[in-house]
Amino acid sequence: MKYSESARIIKQERLASDVFSLWIEGRIAEEARPGQFIAVYTKDPSRLLPRPISICETEGRRLRIVYRIAGEGTRQLSGLREGDTVEVTGPLGNGFPAEVKGPVLLIGGGIGIPPMLFTAKSRNDNIIVLGYRDPELFLLRELSEYGRVHIAVERPQECGREGSEYIEGLLKEGIIESFTKGNVLDAIRENGLSAGSAFACGPAPMLRAVKEYCGVNGIEAWVSLEERMACGIGACLACVCGSRDIDPHSGVRNKRICAEGPVFKAEEVII
Amino acid sequence: MKERKLSVDIAGVTLKNPVMTASGTFGSGMEYSELMDINKLGAVVTKGVSLLPWEGNGTPRVAETSSGMLNAIGLQNPGIDTFIERDLEFLYKTIDKTDIPTRIIVNVCGKTEEEYVEVVRRLADTDADLLEINVSCPNVKEGAIAFGQDPGALSRITEKIKRAARQPIIMKLSPNVTNIALMARVCEEAGADAVSLINTITGMKIDIEKRRFVLSNKTGGLSGPAIKPVAVRMVYECAGAVRIPVIGMGGIASGEDAIEFMMAGARAVAVGMMNFRDHLITEKTVVSMIQYMERHDIRDINEITGCVR
Ligand SMILES: Cc1cc2nc3c(=O)[nH]c(=O)nc-3n(C[C@H](O)[C@H](O)[C@H](O)COP(=O)(O)OP(=O)(O)OC[C@H]3O[C@@H](n4cnc5c(N)ncnc54)[C@H](O)[C@@H]3O)c2cc1C
Ligand SMILES: Cc1cc2nc3c(=O)[nH]c(=O)nc-3n(C[C@H](O)[C@H](O)[C@H](O)COP(=O)(O)O)c2cc1C
Ligand code: FES
């Protein structure tokens, strides 16, 4: 069941210089599953399309999203405060499958990290790999409660010496299992990580690399894709991705990310 | 409370109220039926359907613009056979069989005259109440808009389709012409039972950071509140030029907007991209039209059609 509702804001906080965490209350939370998303609408009548945002976690009737300011819509969202309301529709799409061969590599790159928290909380066989562009390691401590965490940072030098001391500290404290300078694939290779399955969310080049790596190493992979959306519910055919086979719904070689996705079996889609 | 008459007549088919969905913004209602009641609508207009499956354009297919959007879906559809088996079957099962049921209007597209004619023939024995012929899609290379921008071609295709169709036909007009009233007249003379307008206005958006077109198709069709004044003006011009019913659309976001289109001359209206912003907007439009009628003590909605001249 999907709901369109005016959700009350419980809490808004900043996690990194351009990343915010927002808790809202409503019916959507109770039916949400890991990997699903919500459509967030701005209050600005000149910006009419939805902002699709992954569900980061839920607690009863409360739902959390973690988002990066990417433009005017997310900037306006970050200005909302406790007690304000926000129009949302969800839960949308299909999430990560529950029954898969474990252990599971949970791979999150950048703003693809948030849905991994919801996913990690739903399993107990997680090996978590997180890719950050700089040492602003949002959601890291929360994720570390649900599995061993390996992190990759593209530009660790950005915080200078302090940054490397911070990372040393995380290793000592046992918050992270390993640190790699580079991307998530570098971290997976460096630590020789293997698993039964992999769930990945992040930028397209990362997903492409994960798909290839898992294919070669016999790991079943699922990826969460992104595309511009309009209806968010599968009616307008804006948000398609190419598919290996003819899709039973579309009758052609593409699938709706908002309806059949955003999570797909990696081998079935063209990334 | 007095009886208020909301029903309207399009080519002998009675709609319980003047509000329909605009083609391509509502699928066949399947997805929306989870969030709203399609039995509240005058008619459901389905996404354009062609003879064989069409893949559509590459992505990005949509872009947000000020109070509107550009789309270049490219008429992706599963083809008429799947459409009849699945989509029409869904509508048949979902629509209550009351006195005036929600009507089914099938939007038809094609690359050649023959393709349009064949699709229309296959719809003859189905539950479709009316056919809307899309000769105005700006997002496909062949067919579609080419028929809608040339009076001779428009006249010929209208005649051919009219001859082949069992249901009344509505010709959907393009705003991307110099004189839209002339196009409406051409359709009427060639036998069309109604005209609907406007389809989207061709537009373009460039990403100046990446020095690239935002849409993979480069151009797309502009819709939404941004185009409403253009649409109202065009409905007014067409309604003044033909006797057949005019169906108005372009940026409708409320009952008040719908009333405005009717005053300009529309017999019925369609809500398009605003369905994306609010999945319940069509139902709400009907409710606020009734409130308007009560406020102004209007007995019959047909009274306001073309009342501003
Ligand atoms: C399934 C899915 C899940 C997502 N989950 C998250 C998340 O958890 N956290 C997060 O920070 N971001 C997430 N995104 C990306 C997020 O939707 C965009 O960053 C956001 O829409 C940008 O809006 P804006 O108004 O700030 O930017 P603008 O550039 O002003 O937006 C203009 C238009 O483009 C669309 N748009 C821009 N970027 C994207 C994008 N990457 N994907 C889809 N549409 C886009 C907007 O929705 C809007 O319609 C997700 C995207 C998808 C498809
Ligand atoms: C995403 C999208 C898809 C559309 N697909 C079709 C279509 O298949 N056939 C058609 O005749 N018109 C199509 N249209 C045009 C609409 O039916 C309508 O004429 C136009 O969008 C103006 O109305 P609006 O401003 O309320 O959206 C489409 C519009 C949008 C936004
Ligand atoms: S956004 Fe409309 S089909 Fe996905």
B109, B137, B187, B238: the catalytic one is B137
Per the CB < 8 A criterion, the answer to whether B197 and B247 are in contact is: yes
DSSP character for B279? T
The answer to whether B267 faces chain A, any CB pair under 8 Å, is no
Return d(Cα A54, Cα A45) in angstroms, integer. 23
Ligand nearest to the CA of residue B230, numbered in listed order: 2
**Mutation probe of ligand 2 site: the residue of B20, B23, B116, B271 with most atoms within 8 A of C-beta:** B23
**Bridge partner list, B14:** B9
Structure tokens of A172?
């000592």
| Residue in chain B lying closest to A92 (CA) | B31
Return d(Cα A118, Cα B80) in angstroms, integer. 41
Q: Is B109 a catalytic residue?
A: no
At B251, is the secondary structure helix, strand, or coil? coil
Contact B56 A252 (CB under 8 A): yes
Q: What is the CA radius of gyration of chain B?
A: 18
Structure confidence at residue A81 (pLDDT): 97
Structure confidence at residue B143 (pLDDT): 60
pLDDT per position in chain B (309 positions), as tens? 578 999 999 999 999 999 999 999 999 999 999 999 999 999 999 999 999 999 999 999 999 999 999 999 999 999 999 999 999 999 999 999 999 999 999 999 999 999 999 999 999 999 999 999 999 876 666 666 778 899 999 999 999 999 999 999 999 999 999 999 999 999 999 999 999 999 999 999 999 999 999 999 999 999 999 999 999 999 999 999 999 999 999 999 999 999 999 999 999 999 999 999 999 999 999 999 999 999 999 999 999 999 998
Ligand nearest to the CA of residue B282, numbered in listed order: 2
pLDDT digits 0-9 by tens, A117-138: 999 999 999 999 999 998 899 9
- CATH placement of domain B8-57+75-205+226-304: 3.20.20.70
Say whether the peptide bond before residue A97 is cis (omega within 30 degrees of 0).
Answer: no
Phi, psi at A58, each rounded to 5°: -135, 155
Q: How far is CA A204 from CA A65, A201, A227, A271, in A?
A: 21, 9, 10, 7
The CA-CA-CA angle for residues A256, B270, B187, to 5°, reads 105
pLDDT digits 0-9 by tens, A10-44: 999 999 999 999 999 999 999 999 999 999 999 99
**Closest Cβ opposite residue B79 in set A2, A236, A251:** A251
pLDDT of A82 above 70: yes
Confidence of residue A182 (pLDDT cuts 50, 70, 90): very high
Confidence of residue A167 (pLDDT cuts 50, 70, 90): confident
**Closest Cβ opposite residue A48 in set B30, B71, B224:** B224
Return d(Cα B267, Cα B108) in angstroms, integer. 21
Closest CA to A271 of A220, A234, A224: A224
Q: What is the CA radius of gyration of chain A?
A: 18
More confident residue, B143 or A103: A103
**Bridge partner list, B202:** B221
| Percent of chain A residues past pLDDT 90, beyond the cut | 94
pTM of the model: 0.96
Q: Which residues of chain A are within 8 Å of residue B34 when distances are taken between CB atoms?
A: 1-2, 233
- Chain B 232-261, CB below 8 Å of chain A: which residues? none
Per the CB < 8 A criterion, the answer to whether A59 and A29 are in contact is: yes
Ligand nearest to the CA of residue A226, numbered in listed order: 1
Confidence of residue A156 (pLDDT cuts 50, 70, 90): confident
Confidence of residue A9 (pLDDT cuts 50, 70, 90): very high
Return d(Cα B17, Cα B4) in angstroms, integer. 11
Contact B59 A227 (CB under 8 A): yes
Q: Which residue has the tokens 């709706």?
A: A256
Closest atom, ligand 1, to C-alpha of A77: 26
Q: Which residues of chain A are within 8 Å of residue B27 when distances are taken between CB atoms?
A: 231, 234-236
Structure confidence at residue A157 (pLDDT): 73
Confidence of residue A65 (pLDDT cuts 50, 70, 90): very high
Q: How far is CA A113 from CA A106, A131, A201, B40, in A?
A: 9, 8, 7, 42
Structure confidence at residue A104 (pLDDT): 98
Query: If you take atom 14 of ligand 1, which residue's CA is the nearest one?
Result: A53
**Bridge partner list, B107:** B132
| Residue in chain B lying closest to A90 (CA) | B35
Per the CB < 8 A criterion, the answer to whether B165 and B120 are in contact is: yes
- A1, A3, A87, A237: best to mutate for the B interface, most B CBs within 10 A: A237
pLDDT of A56 above 80: yes
Every domain of chain B and the residues it spans:
8-57+75-205+226-304
Contact A251 B77 (CB under 8 A): yes
Contact A46 B277 (CB under 8 A): no
Q: Is the CB of B175 under 6 A from ligand 2?
A: no
